[in-house]
Amino acid sequence: MQLPPALHARLAGAPGSAEPLPVERDPAARTAPFRFAPRPVRFPREHDFFEEGDVQRHLYLQDVLMQVGGAPERPRVPEFTCQVAGCCQVFDALEDYEHHYHTLHRNVCSFCKRAFPSGHLLDTHILEWHDSLFQILAERQDMYQCLVEGCTEKFRTSRDRKEHLVMRHLYPADFRFDKPRKSRGPVMPGAAEQVLAEALGDDGVPSEGDAMEVCSEHVEPPPVPAGERRAYSHRIPSTICFGQGASRGFKRAKKRNKHQ
């Protein structure tokens, strides 16, 4: 198919539209052998017309078709240590360091040093755990915001919010980033408070890794206080506890303060 040479120049030229040529209707039009009405055509989703293009799209997805671009580069660098105080992790690739930094150091609560996966969860945590004004307001109005982005519901208590997360948003009941704040006063017999303290006491350092797994070798969970009630339809296995959120990123010299 030969294209006129001026076409490429036109493409590169200025935007514009052609003045439509005047059309004279033939007086004999009424006796024409056919009538044709131009019409734009629309094709819906599943139309066969799309078969070819769809097949090519899926070949691409399956990577049979071709590669888009060349091989990636993952340069190795001389080993270096994480610069955050107290962290002695060593790296030889920048991507690994990036991930480490974002996981452990980026969204860290300056009060209790817990790390969170996002700024949003960190902000929620600070508000609910460390803001006394929040506590005061929470006595009178619904302050506990739903954690799902885009959901504007607020709740009176952390429990109500958890129930909403489970029922409405199909979140797991033991969702790791929604821990109930422990109350003031004597440490509650439930939850991982005791367990984590034990774990700390055992070896003097907070264990790294999953707080859930910290509990896996602990004592039987204490009986649930009368006031609590499990509203959820599925049982939480006894080896899983409502931990303290992410474990600390560095060693601490002194025991945790039980009254926060």
Which residues, numbered 109-138, are part of the site for another protein (CB under 8 A)? 115, 117-121
Q: Which residues contact 81 (CB under 8 A, 6 or more apart)?
A: 87, 88, 89, 90, 91
Q: How far is the CB of 102 from another protein (least distance, A)?
A: 4
- Which of 142/208 has CB closer to another protein? 208
Report the residue from 169, 230, 234, 252 that binds another protein according to the rule CB under 8 A: 169
Among 85, 133, 170, 219, binds another protein (CB under 8 A): 170
Q: In the range 10-29, which residues lie near another protein by CB under 8 A?
A: 10-13, 15-21, 23-26, 28-29
Q: Which string of x and - marks every residue 191-210 that binds another protein (by CB under 8 A)?
A: -----------------xxx
C-beta of residue 127 within 8 angstroms of C-beta of residue 134? yes
Q: Which is nearer to another protein, 217 or 228 (CB)?
A: 217
- According to the binding rule CB under 8 A, does residue 86 interact with another protein? no
DSSP letter string, 163-221: HHHHHTT---TT-TT-PPPPPSSSPPSSHHHHHHHHHHHHHSSPPPS-HHHHGGGSPPP
Among 192, 200, 203, 182, which Cα is nearest to 243's? 192
Nearer to another protein, 169 or 230 (CB): 169
Candidate list 168, 234, 252, 258; residue touching another protein; CB under 8 A: 168
Q: What is the DSSP string of 128-167?
A: HHH-HHHHHHHTTS--EE-SSTT---EESSHHHHHHHHHH
- Shortest Å distance, C-beta 257 to another protein: 21
Contacts (CB under 8 A) with another protein, residues 236-255: 246-247, 249
Pairing of strands 144-145, 154-155: antiparallel
If one counts every other C-beta atom within 10 angstroms of the C-beta of residue 144, the result is: 22
CA 21 centroid distance within chain: 57
**DSSP one-letter code for 90:** E
Nearer to another protein, 61 or 133 (CB): 61
Q: Smallest gap, in angstroms, from Cβ of residue 90 to another protein? A: 10
What is the chain's length?
260
Total residues contacting another protein by CB under 8 A comes to 101
Q: For another protein, which residue of 57, 181, 230, 251 counts as binding (CB under 8 A)? A: 57
Which of 56, 81, 238, 260 contacts another protein by CB under 8 A?
Answer: 56
